[in-house]
């Protein structure tokens, strides 16, 4: 169970739906992803969409290369992954500097807010630093009601200004994964 | 060292691309990129000098974006081994217009000829087929290469995968462009897209 399914006033904002709307509006056509619970609603919307193609990956770095190919062929894309996946992308992120193509990734965070699984903590702690060292601008959304503005700003600078950007969706936003009830 | 029974990589690539028409060609880093450059520079060549393991999935993104155009990825065994998971990703999407050619010399030629996994146990054709790429084959002779080349133009029956055993000769490098912005915008321009 995750926070987003728990009833509270905050959850009234359907932020995954807001992200989907933004991707639609920016005419994003390819959405590569490695599944994450925090992205599950958005992935379902993408897979159900006629205009977008959801593309499951075996590892996140595939997504970076796929996005370059998509843009070379005239299509916009966005990569969905969990914080641990950022580490899998490092060398492939060179492509964003070599080719200057629109690179947007939405990263659901683990290991930073009430984490139960110690294995998530090292990569979760270095996610932002790794992205910044790789030349990716990092924006963050922590509250449900700020997701729309943050993702909108990211999409704008990615698709209008070719500024590679990651949006970190805080673990506080997504809800801490419950292993033992 | 070259072996008379194995194919010459430059001959293989020039035969495959001799009548490429509108095809987009992605070259994996190292010798595959030099082979494509040697076959003739082209607006629709996407040369890679890095991003090892990314060539096939880059071709996938292109193939999905341009389903009416043939997309051909030509890469080496070492680059393919690093991106082996991408064959599963291709097997799931099944783009009809994507062809993957591996120039397999069973070694890492660019770094001194160290032996690769395909020299012993790894069977890339078996991997590709097991990942859902039904049209996966080995090409062993130049006649087979020439007979296969027209199939690259068929955008409805892919994806297809071909492993070509080539000799280990370390040929003189034919350097392609390596300015990513130029390569990318030239390719996009040939498809009718303007820079932002």
Chain A residues bordering chain B (beta-carbon distance below 8 Å): 29-30, 53, 55-59, 61-62, 64-75, 77, 91-92, 94-95, 98-101, 160, 162
Distance from CA of A7 to the nearest CA of B (A): 37
How many other β-carbons are positioned within 10 Å of the β-carbon of residue A91? Answer: 16
* Inter-chain residue contact A56 with B92, CB threshold 8 Å: yes
Pair B154, B22: CB distance under 8 Å: no
Complex confidence, ipTM: 0.96
Structure tokens at B29: 């880093």
Residue A31 lies in a domain: yes
Q: How many domains is chain A built from?
A: 1
Residue A25 lies in a domain: yes
Q: What is the pLDDT of residues B102-149, one digit of tens each?
A: 999 999 998 999 999 999 999 999 999 999 999 999 999 999 999 999
Residue A180 lies in a domain: no
Question: For residue A2, is pLDDT > 60?
Answer: no
Residue A179 lies in a domain: no
**Domain span including residue A160:** 3-174
Q: What is the pLDDT of residues A117-148, one digit of tens each?
A: 999 999 999 999 999 999 999 999 999 999 99
Rounded-to-integer distance, Cα B66 and Cα B47, Å: 18
Residue A167 lies in a domain: yes
Binning pLDDT at 50, 70 and 90, where does residue A3 land? very low
What are the mean pLDDT values of chain B's consecutive 10-residue runs (196 residues total)? 76 98 97 97 98 98 98 98 98 98 95 94 97 98 97 98 95 94 98 93
Q: What is the mean pLDDT of chain A?
A: 94
Residue A113 lies in a domain: yes
Rounded-to-integer distance, Cα B52 and Cα A120, Å: 27
- CATH assignment at residue A93: 3.40.50.970
For residue B37, what are the contacts with CB-CB under 8 A and spacing of at least 6? B27, B45, B47, B174, B175, B176
Distance from CA of A55 to the nearest CA of B (A): 7
pTM attached to this predicted model: 0.95
Rounded-to-integer distance, Cα A83 and Cα A80, Å: 10
Residue A181 lies in a domain: no
pLDDT for the residue numbered A12: 73
Distance from CA of B191 to the nearest CA of A (A): 7
pLDDT for the residue numbered B4: 58
Q: Looking at domain B9-190, which CATH architecture does it have?
A: 3-Layer(aba) Sandwich (3.40)
Which residue of A75, A101, A160 is in closest CB contact with B65? Answer: A75
Specify the 3-state DSSP secondary structure of B56.
Answer: helix
* Inter-chain residue contact A68 with B85, CB threshold 8 Å: no
State how far the alpha carbon of B148 is from the alpha carbons of A28, A41, B99, in Å: 35, 44, 11
State how far the alpha carbon of B127 is from the alpha carbons of B85, B118, B120, B121, B155, in Å: 10, 11, 14, 12, 22
Residue A70 lies in a domain: yes
């Amino acid at each position: 169970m995750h926070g987003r399914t728990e009833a509270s006033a905050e959850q009234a904002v359907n932020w995954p739906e807001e992200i989907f709307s933004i991707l639609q509006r920016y005419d994003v056509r390819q959405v590569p992803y490695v599944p994450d619970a925090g992205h599950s609603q958005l992935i379902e919307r993408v897979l159900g969409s006629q205009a977008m193609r959801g593309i499951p990956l075996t590892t996140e770095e595939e997504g970076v290369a796929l996005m370059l190919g998509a843009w070379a062929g005239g299509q916009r894309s966005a990569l969905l992954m969990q914080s641990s996946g950022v580490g899998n992308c490092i060398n492939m992120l060179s492509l964003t500097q070599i080719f200057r193509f629109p690179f947007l990734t939405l990263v659901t965070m683990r290991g930073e807010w009430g984490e139960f699984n110690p294995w998530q903590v090292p990569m979760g702690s270095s996610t932002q630093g790794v992205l910044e060292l790789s030349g990716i601008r990092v924006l963050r959304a922590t509250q449900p009601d700020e997701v729309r503005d943050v993702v909108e700003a990211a999409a704008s600078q990615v698709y209008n200004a070719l500024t590679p950007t990651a949006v970190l969706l805080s673990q506080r936003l997504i809800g801490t994964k419950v292993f033992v009830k | 060292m070259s072996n008379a029974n194995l194919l010459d990589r430059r001959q293989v690539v020039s035969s495959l691309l001799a009548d490429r028409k509108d095809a987009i060609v992605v070259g994996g880093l190292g010798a595959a990129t030099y082979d494509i450059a040697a076959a003739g520079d082209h607006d629709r060549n996407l040369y890679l000098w890095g991003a090892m393991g990314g060539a096939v999935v880059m071709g996938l993104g292109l193939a999905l974006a341009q389903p009416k155009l043939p997309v051909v990825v030509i890469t080496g065994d070492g680059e393919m081994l690093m991106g082996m998971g991408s064959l599963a990703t291709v097997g799931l999407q099944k783009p009809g217009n994507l062809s993957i050619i591996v120039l397999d010399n069973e070694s890492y030629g660019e770094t001194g000829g160290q032996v690769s996994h395909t020299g012993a146990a790894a069977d890339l054709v078996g991997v590709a087929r097991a990942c859902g790429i039904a049209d996966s084959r080995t090409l062993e002779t130049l006649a087979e290469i020439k007979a296969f080349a027209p199939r690259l133009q068929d955008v409805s029956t892919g994806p297809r995968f071909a492993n070509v055993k080539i000799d280990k000769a370390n040929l003189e490098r034919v350097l392609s462009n390596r300015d990513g912005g130029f390569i990318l915008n030239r390719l996009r321009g040939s498809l009718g897209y303007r820079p932002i």
